[in-house]
Chains A and B, each alone.
Chain A
Amino acid sequence: MAEEVKLIRTWSSPFALRIVWALKLKGIEFETVLEDLASKSPLLLQSNPVHKKVPVLVHNGKPVSESLVILEYIEETWKEKPLLPEDPYEKASSRFWAKFSDEKLLPSVWTVFISQGNKQEEALVPALENLQFIEEQLEGKKFFGGEKIGLLDLAIGWMADMVSVLEEVTGLKLIQEDKFPLLSAWIEIFADVPEIKESGAPREKLISKFQAIRDAYAATK
């Protein structure tokens, strides 16, 4: 049976980008369906009635939602070029830090970038703490996955272009090289991997988008 793989995504969603990376790294052909979240398509609403969010992977007509669930699904369905380590402890560790990235790291970094003045100073404390935890995970490693990219690299990969865009929009350097040498090095080599490099959203478009979001937050003060 011919495989039919569709990815419902938006042009900028970092959660959807992880899925693009996984599919490309595994050499899986797929069709992109671009969504406008202001006007959700019947396909999206039908495929993800519970959350009505992107990304959704539709494999031979069957939808899978929630990016970390999708990554595990891809890993189990297409077993070549594994993204997860074989060792159960290392696997658990990857899963733990991927969850940490979504539940703690990303929200704390986001808060720094939408805040102003004193609130931003306060928001820096947990963000820097969380970044330090992640920095430590890179000890003795090239990628979070070791010698090769793994699931955790994809989960944290939003840092690779998103953080520099946010830094440019706010003028605040969050990941300073002297404080986070391993993370800084990782951002460079991750961003340079061909499948990652060719997938990014246009930088200028991202900058405009986040500038607008930040201005909107500042205006609500």
Chain B
Amino acid sequence: MATSDVKLLGAWPSPYVNRVQIVLKLKSVDYEYMEQSFPGKSELLLKSNPVYKKIPVLIHGDKPICESLIIVQYIDEVWNKNGPSLLPSDPYDCAMARFWAAYIDDKWFPIMGELRKAQEEEAKATLIKQAAEGLVLLEEAFLKCSKGKDYFGGESIGYLDIALGSFLGWIKAGEIMSGVKLLDETKTPGLVQWAQRFCSNDVVKDVLPEPEKLIEVLKMIQARLKAAATST
């Protein structure tokens, strides 16, 4: 199928969208990017993702594919001749990559969401501790999966690098806003070095937003929420 009929519905601050952008770039896929303005939802988005009504949505030909990690696997399979496979070929290593990506999405990143909403110092402290513990688990995973190489995927960026790496902008933004270091070289030295490598990678560096810009987005969302709360 011609790569010119690939569209990505996205929003630049979304780490889930960034995942897809990174993979499309890694696989040299030409596509049309359609920025979705927040908070509105376009007709095309609602038609393409009636279940979740969320971005990212990849539209290939006229077929929509939703959910970022499912899109990542789809791109990897369709454009399998463009560069190395994102998932390890060994089924056990592949299962580990999938397991940790699911952990990041289902358990770890939601802690960051709770942290942004938390008001009391005690609640914040508990959440920061949980996030830090999670990163220690991910440090162990990094050591096991990378087997001494640069990335979770080994020599080159893979599925798990993309799953975690897409959150690095938001992690940095969170560190700046809270004054607390989450990625700490004394606790997770492997991850800290990996993060620097990932963010400065040619494919990634133009995709991940600057933390300062994400902070502005966060402040705007918080202001909107405050306004909505006080106006009721």
Contact = CB atoms under 8 A, between A and B. Distances in A.
Interface of A: 50, 59, 62, 64-66, 68-70, 72-73, 76-77, 88-89, 91-92, 95-96, 99-100, 104, 133
Contacts of B77: 88, 91
Contacts of B99: 64-66, 69
Nearest to B134: A50
B95 A88 contact: no
B78 interface: yes
Q: Determine the main DSSP class of B at the interface with A.
A: helix
B112 interface: no
Interface in B64-95: 65-67, 70-71, 73-74, 77-78, 91-92, 94-95
A96 B66 contact: yes
B70 A88 contact: no
Contacts of B73: 91-92, 95
The 6 A-B residue pairs with the shortest CB-CB distance, nearest first, are A76-B91, A73-B95, A88-B77, A92-B74, A77-B91, A69-B98
B63 A72 contact: no
Q: Determine the main DSSP class of A at the interface with B.
A: helix
Given A73-B94, A96-B70, A66 B137 contact: no
Contacts of A59: 92
A76 B137 CA distance: 26
Contacts of A91: 73-74, 77
A100 B51 contact: yes
Contacts of A70: 95
Interface-centre pick from B50, B71, B78, B92 (highest chain A CB count, 10 A):
B92
B199 to A, nearest CB: 26
A72 B50 CA distance: 26
Contacts of A95: 67, 70, 73
A91 B73 CA distance: 10
Contacts of A76: 91, 94-95
A33 B99 CA distance: 21
B91 A89 contact: no
A130 B71 CA distance: 22
Contacts of A92: 65, 70-71, 73-74
Nearest to B95: A73
A68 B69 CA distance: 13
A99 B71 CA distance: 13
Given A68-B102, A88-B77, A96-B66, 11 more contacts: A59-B92, A70-B95, A73-B94, A76-B91, A88-B74, A89-B63, A89-B74, A91-B74, A100-B51, A104-B51, A133-B51
